[in-house]
Homo-oligomer: A and B are copies of this chain.
């Protein structure tokens, strides 16, 4: 009877209203009904992305959307500054290299933000077609200083392509105000949907750049998407049920209001970090993202045993570390359909399992610290 609690940094929990909306009978997409739905969705997307630019929806994962952004705006052989501090940023390096781009990779150690000063140096030393960045690097639970980096890039001819897969709808991000040319996200994170949709907002600077680029892919052809979008239409068959669910989830998000969503998400992250410290654990990142928290395992606690116990005893699902961080950290999402009591619940479960597995700490201290932080949300 333990209710499933999904704290993985994507997929995240999907609200019951969204699940039920998606269970309604499918209808055809070449109809005025679909255009009306898509027009409503596009208005809501503009509010969530905080942009006056078009936001393209793709049937595919976040990887499809980010690749769409890159291949349509960076010419083959173009020069790209890839800012990298984790596994996802490294994926964008792979995309650039497959497209025979000249890549300058500016790497920060896992768990640290990309230093803004180094970005300024790189931008001064080279002329780039594009800069790629993960705003919130999900693998290392680390946030980069997007606003400062965008301020630097907007002064150059390069376009800034931001992986906001675990930032849009979770962390403050204002693409038009800050100068983010392309902002990408996926459906299964803060947007509270199942996986299957990718999104990208496209600035005028990025659109103009895309007109100079010829790339072979048809499915991910940005010009096809933008041309259709201008008429609230789609070039290829859309994932109709997911788009219906999207309408419901975006309505919920915009009704709460972006400032409130950010405030709530940040409070859950602060509560979790405070609890970690109180339980004698160390937060992984030197610049933690509020969308997902990484916590070092204490000595003697095994990753698979720990996560397995949470799953078996509590039906609580958290994520392992990725790559070289596997076995070293666990990760907890604060995005989307999660509330203060879910947060308190997962911390309680963490305490119980940590104690079972021999970690020494003041039992109850984590819950008390989290409770303290969470109560501030209601003051």
Contact = CB atoms under 8 A, between A and B. Distances in A.
A19 B319 CA distance: 28
A9 to B, nearest CB: 10
A26 interface: yes
Contacts of A239: 194-196, 239, 242
A209 to B, nearest CB: 18
Interface stretch (A59-67, A104-112, A282-290, A293-301): A59-67
A48 B242 CA distance: 25
Nearest to A4: B25
A218 B94 contact: yes
Nearest to A65: B219
Interface string A90-111: 0100110011100000000000
A217 interface: yes
B67 A219 contact: yes
A27 to B, nearest CB: 7
A13 interface: yes
Interface string A59-101: 1111110010001000010000000000000010011001110
Q: How large is the interface on A (under 10, 10 to 19, 20 to 34, 35 or more residues)?
A: 35 or more
Contacts of A14: 25-26
A237 B6 contact: no
How many subunits of this chain does the assembly comprise? 2
B195 A240 contact: yes
A24 B194 CA distance: 11
A64 B71 contact: no
Contacts of A186: 237
B95 A218 contact: yes
Contacts of A64: 59-60, 219, 236
Nearest to A64: B219
A251 interface: no
Contact of A216 (B20, B71, B218, B240): B71
Contact of A28 (B11, B30, B31, B62): B11
A22 interface: yes
A194 B241 contact: yes
A218 B317 contact: no
A332 interface: no
19 contacts: A10-B237, A11-B237, A13-B25, A14-B25, A22-B22, A22-B241, A28-B317, A28-B319, A59-B196, A60-B64, A60-B219, A71-B217, A91-B218, A95-B218, A195-B239, A196-B239, A196-B241, A196-B242, A239-B242
